[in-house]
A and B are shown apart, each in its own frame.
Chain A
Amino acid sequence: MRLGHFLRMAWRSRGLVATLTERELRARYKQAFLGAAWAFAAPLGYVVVFSLFFDRAAKIETFGVSYPVFTYAALIPWGFFAQTVSRGAMSVVDNLVLLNKVAAPRETFVLSANTTALIDMLVSAIAFPVVVLVSGEHFYLATLTLLPVLAVQFAFALGLALLLSALLVYLRDVRHLLPLLTQLLMFATPVVWGLAAVRQRTSDGVIRLYAILNPMSSVCESYRRALAYGRAPEWELLGLSAATATVVLMAGYWVFKKLEPGFADVA
């Protein structure tokens, strides 16, 4: 199966992925004055803006949790997702010159962009306890249930990044659409608003369909449940999203492999 092929490739080139990730992180943090601080400066900024705007103006139902914690919990995986879509999708185009000279497995560039985003996410999560303490909330052991969620979000984002990175080689102008798409997608995902409030008004079927169509919805909700409310993910919805993520990963890898032989021709 293709997926097995992909996993074998990923394992074989783990050294290269590690080095590429290290290069990315080092180069980034070396230049930035504040270094790693940037990784959580951005989500913190969002939290402040969202708290001022959505909490005050839009009156989002948070079921007893302070709004900064409510939105920060979901912003952690979302920041990862947005970064994979922007960086992961560009990872092949940005490295075309190199890929035209060195016969390294090209998937590793996408994979390392995703790994970089994951590490950034973990760094940014360091700020979460601070937000929790400032807001006077609790920190929960349920956080540990997020490990399978991590797998779902990684698989889904990687599949999308593989698909987009291959397409972008042939359709370079699509890159200008990406920021807009991620921004719109954020509002289609429970980041600033909560799924629980919507649930009271719709049927379970619609919610299930939503989990299939947008795996990030289950991911963000799971983070929120664990970090803000101390509850385990809703396994059924997460399972549906995991199925979509697997399909997306397989499709993304299939398209990537189909288009890969032509990369050097159009570089």
Chain B
Amino acid sequence: MLPDGSVTASRIWKRFRSDRHRNLLRDEFARISHRLRGDTSTMWRWAVQDVSFEVKPGSSLALIGANGSGKSTMLKMLAGVMFPTYGSLEATGRIGALIEVRAGIHPDLTGRENIFMFGSLLGLKRADVRRRFDQIVEFADLTEAIDRQVKFYSSGMGMRLAFAVAAFLEPDILVVDEVLAVGDATFQQRCLDRMREVMASGTTLLYVSHDLATVEAMCNDAIWLDRGCVRASGPTREVISQYRRSVEESAKLHRENAEVVTVDTVHIDDGSGRPVRSNGPAAISVRLRAPDRLAARVVLGISEGSASPVFVIEHECEVTPEGLQVECRIEHLPLPAGDFAVWCTVLDESGRVARAWTPVADFSVEGIHLLQAPTGIVRLSPVVVDSSWHQTL
């Protein structure tokens, strides 16, 4: 018997219908008549294919991947809402799931009635809810609205109400699916704080989000799902950097052809032919060409792979048909050891895009390894900052 809070998934497969069959008696008749004519094809789509993993009590696992990669399906199976077609899934202890929780809220009841209602849906006793009632109301920030019917709430209030009930479940396993996307910045921060508290008390966390920064902040390990298959798994930072790389690859493929300015060559080193090091000098040289003379603004961005750069630098110049070589020098490159990409866009005088924002080169940095922020603290950009500390009494 596994200890409470552990999850073992072995060779999970899940399929859905992908034909035009609807859940109607009418369609059922049509299917029977097809079958009588010897046509027995039912079309299936595999949403999850052969996924295995193990999560130990108290640790945290993130599922990342593009839309439609099977993340939410996987979480629904973990939450016990859906069942795998093949394979076995074992989760021990009480599971609390935060999956678009607004569905549990009844519009005709007041906030107070809904808290009890939703609490018992999630498996809490009335006494348990009563004990946590004040905490829940305070967390949801609904003090004076609590005796109003929920249909008169704003959408954010309804969401906060549902999340607050679920957040005070005290489960052994907490399953969270992108719920933080709704709600304002203050509430998001409060949710993250609450998740950190829950984790500190030994709860296992299973987390799905497109916000890679929070994924990195919340989870030790990650699995990258791609069209239902595992593309990579391991420590979060490594998996995320592989995922970002593939996002960059697909961005390269989607480059538009109708571009005024073309980038011929891009080179990056420390200025004297050696690889760049953290906090050391860096030189990026770019060769640009345009069919006609063009006064342009060249913008370079250094990113971990995605379209959102760590920082940008820019230069105004005149691009010619013969080609123009621009070189940029950075005295102290504030990047930790790892793989990065150079993204580039060129704008003309009136700010129109003369070359789209796409990656143009990859490079590696050697040297200082990034300091990991404590669990639950979202770090936006991976930069290395020299610091010296003095201590006096």
Contacts and interface: CB of A to CB of B under 8 A. Distances in A.
Interface of A: 15-16, 19-20, 22-23, 26-27, 30-31, 97-104, 169-174, 261, 264-266
B348 interface: no
A25 B97 CA distance: 27
B266 interface: no
A101 B101 contact: yes
A23 B28 CA distance: 35
B108 A27 contact: yes
Nearest to A169: B23
SS of B interface (majority) = mixed
Given A23-B109, A27-B108, A31-B108, A103 B81 contact: yes
Contacts of B99: 101-102
Interface of B: 16-17, 22-26, 28, 76, 79-83, 95, 97, 99-101, 103-104, 106, 108-109, 113, 116-117, 120-123, 125-126
A172 B123 CA distance: 29
B119 to A, nearest CB: 8
B103 to A, nearest CB: 5
8 nearest CB pairs, A to B: A103-B80, A27-B108, A261-B83, A19-B120, A264-B82, A173-B24, A171-B25, A98-B103
A15 B16 contact: no
A15 B81 contact: no
Name the prevailing secondary structure of the A interface residues: helix
A171 B27 CA distance: 9
B97 A102 contact: yes
B392 to A, nearest CB: 55
A175 to B, nearest CB: 10
B49 to A, nearest CB: 16
Contacts, number: 82
A154 B109 CA distance: 28
B81 A100 contact: yes
Nearest to B77: A264
A16 B120 contact: yes
Contact of A170 (B23, B82, B106, B121): B23
Given A22-B117, A266-B17, 16 more contacts: A19-B116, A19-B121, A20-B117, A27-B109, A98-B103, A98-B121, A100-B81, A100-B103, A101-B81, A170-B23, A171-B24, A173-B24, A173-B25, A173-B26, A265-B82, A266-B23
A210 B100 CA distance: 49
Contacts of A100: 76, 81, 103
A266 B27 CA distance: 14
Given A98-B104, A264-B76, A104 B123 contact: yes
29 contacts: A15-B125, A16-B123, A19-B117, A19-B121, A20-B120, A23-B117, A26-B108, A26-B113, A27-B109, A30-B108, A98-B103, A100-B76, A101-B81, A101-B97, A101-B99, A101-B103, A102-B81, A102-B121, A104-B122, A169-B23, A170-B23, A171-B23, A172-B22, A173-B25, A174-B25, A264-B76, A264-B82, A265-B17, A266-B23
Contacts of A103: 79-81, 95, 97
B122 A102 contact: yes
Contacts of B126: 15, 19
